[in-house]
Amino acid sequence: MNKVMLIILGCLSGGLTLFFLAQDSLPSGSFESNTRVYLNEKNTRLLVPTFVKIEFTDDRYHLFFLLDGRTGFNSNGTVSLSGNHLRFIQEEHERIFPEKAVTVTEQAFIRNGAFSDSFELQAIDEDSFLLSGDYLSLYFESIDND
């Protein structure tokens, strides 16, 4: 009876350890998102296509964000994970065609620090995840498996 209890306790503690370790692991590799962003601009509701590519290497990230195929930014820096909250700490930011950001919302999307925030990381499976912030949710899929 003691051996059975010991085996059960060992399995439970091993499973819980793996569960908590898996929760605190950063994504690794390259991911893309082709998501439509809902914008409310001057009482007009728009669905604006975005293209986002993000690469994670250890605790670093490189992000390419393109809004409506016209304007966007490149950003890189460090990333940290606490529980299921992913925080981007931006070190460099370069706007892409800032003159094409004509609306206030577009200008807000490409401003310095636009992606320096805490996002909730929701793993879907090994190859995809969802990043959710206060005003933005993006679905990412791995491009390393192509």
Using one digit for the tens of pLDDT, what is the confidence trace for 72-94? 889 999 999 988 898 989 999 88
Report residue 31's pLDDT band, with 50, 70 and 90 as the boundaries: very high
- 62 within 8 A of 78, measured Cβ to Cβ: no
| Position 94, amino acid | E
- Of 135, 131, 145, the closest CA to residue 63 belongs to 131
Q: In sequence order, what E strands does the chain have?
A: 29-41, 44-57, 60-67, 71-82, 85-96, 118-125, 128-132, 137-142
Rg, C-alpha atoms of the chain = 19
Please check the confidence at residue 134 and state whether its pLDDT lies above 90: no
**Going from the N-terminus, what domains does the chain have, and what CATH number goes with each?**
2-142 (2.40.128.280)
Q: What angle do CA 9, 14, 20 make, to 5 degrees?
A: 125
